[in-house]
């Protein structure tokens, strides 16, 4: 084999190994994992070619850090579910407070879901917390 052929072979081999490492880190390496808690808003089965389970968790709101107005903001956690058994269990938990264990990937794969966060198990499920009624004051009453 000539020197030119060896250079081309080594260059192609290095490029293929680099591409394989890039694809692994981008799509299969678990960048982080953790637990998120909140009220399960929805879990749906959707997609054009690859049908996947997609969900939304509404997390507790926080007071605005701005000096004007003390509004609450809601934080949404959008996620995908690969395991059908976990997705079926979540479909029965809509509106309940759940804790979900997830894995975070750097990239999305169409058959894994439309989100970087993939829920792999349910940690706990509890009834939604109820808000106590606020008494309505008439004009003659004061706090």
CA dist 140 → 67, 134, 135, 137, 143 (Å): 31, 17, 14, 8, 10
Per-10-residue mean pLDDT for the chain, 143 residues long?
87 94 89 92 91 92 57 80 94 91 91 92 82 58 53
Predicted TM-score (pTM) above 0.85? no
Q: Are 57 and 79 in contact (CB under 8 A)?
A: yes
pLDDT at 9: 92
pLDDT for 3 equals: 87
Q: Residue 15 half-sphere exposure, CB side, CA atoms within 13 Å? A: 6
User: What element of type H or E holds 61?
Assistant: strand 52-63
Residue 19 host element (H or E): helix 3-23
- The pLDDT of residue 94 is 86
pLDDT at residue number 95: 86
What's the confidence (pLDDT) of residue 136? 61
The domains located in the chain, with CATH, are: 30-126 (2.40.50)
Residues, the chain, total?
143
Q: Residue 28: helix, strand or coil by DSSP?
A: helix
């Amino acid at each position: 084999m000539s020197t030119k052929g060896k250079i081309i072979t080594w260059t192609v081999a290095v490029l293929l190994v680099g591409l394989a490492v890039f694809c692994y880190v981008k799509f299969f390496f678990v960048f982080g994992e953790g637990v998120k808690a909140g009220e399960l808003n929805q879990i749906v089965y959707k997609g054009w070619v690859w049908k996947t389970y997609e969900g939304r968790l509404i997390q507790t709101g926080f007071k605005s850090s701005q000096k004007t107005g003390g509004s609450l903001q809601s934080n949404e956690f959008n996620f995908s579910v690969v395991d059908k058994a976990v997705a079926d269990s979540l479909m029965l938990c809509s509106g309940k407070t759940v804790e979900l264990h997830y894995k975070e990937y750097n990239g999305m794969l169409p058959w894994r879901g439309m989100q970087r966060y993939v829920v792999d198990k349910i940690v706990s499920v509890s009834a939604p917390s109820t808000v106590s009624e606020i008494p309505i004051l008439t004009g003659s009453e004061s706090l």
